[in-house]
Amino acid sequence: MPDPTLSDAWEIARTEGNAYAIKDGVLTHSEYICGENVKQVALPKCKRDKVLKVTHEIPLAGHLGEQKIRQRIKYSLFWPEIKKDVKEFCQNCRQCRVRRAITYRDRIPIQPIVKPETPFEVWSVDCIDPLEPPSRRGHKFVICAVGVCMRLGRRHSRKKYYCENHLRRALEDFYSYRFP
């Protein structure tokens, strides 16, 4: 089944043939990159995610930015809207989001935290996940609870993210401190 995103390119290659050409049944695209005419294979939509993953995520790729990934791809492959697809892929990469530089848009004015007056009135609870490598006993997740008033912290390691024992264990902790 032909790729609908390349249908216009196929039509141009059959009629005009300026930037597009058909060679041995393969749609190619010609583009000048750094003053050199480069022949690129037009890539169908079903293969684009795999190419983006390989050029961005494998260890040798190094999680480069949008521009370098696009340059790397364009030396051999082409598809319409390559710029948009590369930008979207890089923005959705979890490792890149975690490591990216903080910009002025990310900064939020610091607000004071009002400390509760009685112990156990307010708790901050979070799940730290997933721990790589897991602990010797196979725990990959840590439930962390901190009493805001006394800054008393409790943690529970878990093998699964969703576990019926989380609530029971938290209640046991609360009751051990004479929580009403």
pLDDT tens-digit series, residues 43-98 = 888 888 899 988 888 877 788 888 888 888 888 898 888 899 999 998 888 888 88
pLDDT at 83: 92
Report the 10 Å Cβ neighbour count for 162. Answer: 8
167 pLDDT tier (thresholds 50, 70, 90): low
Q: What is the pLDDT of residue 17?
A: 67
Q: Residue 173, SS3?
A: helix
Please give the share of the chain, as a percent, with pLDDT higher than 90: 4
Res. 1 pLDDT band, cuts 50 70 90: very low
Please check the confidence at residue 102 and state whether its pLDDT lies above 50: yes
**pLDDT tops 60 at residue 128:** yes
Question: Rounded to a whole number, what is the distance in angstroms from the first to the last CA of the chain?
Answer: 66
Task: Enumerate domains of the chain plus CATH numbers.
Answer: 6-99 (1.10.340.70), 123-177 (no CATH)
Its pTM stands at 0.53
What was the pLDDT predicted at 156? Answer: 63
Per-residue pLDDT band for 173 (boundaries 50, 70, 90) equals low
Residue 147, burial from CB neighbour count under 10 angstroms (0-12, 13-18, 19+): buried
Poorest-confidence range of 23-32, 66-75, 146-155?
Answer: 146-155
- Lookup: tokens for 65: 């930015």
pLDDT of residue 84: 93
**Tokens at 10, concatenated:** 């196929």
Average pLDDT for the chain: 79
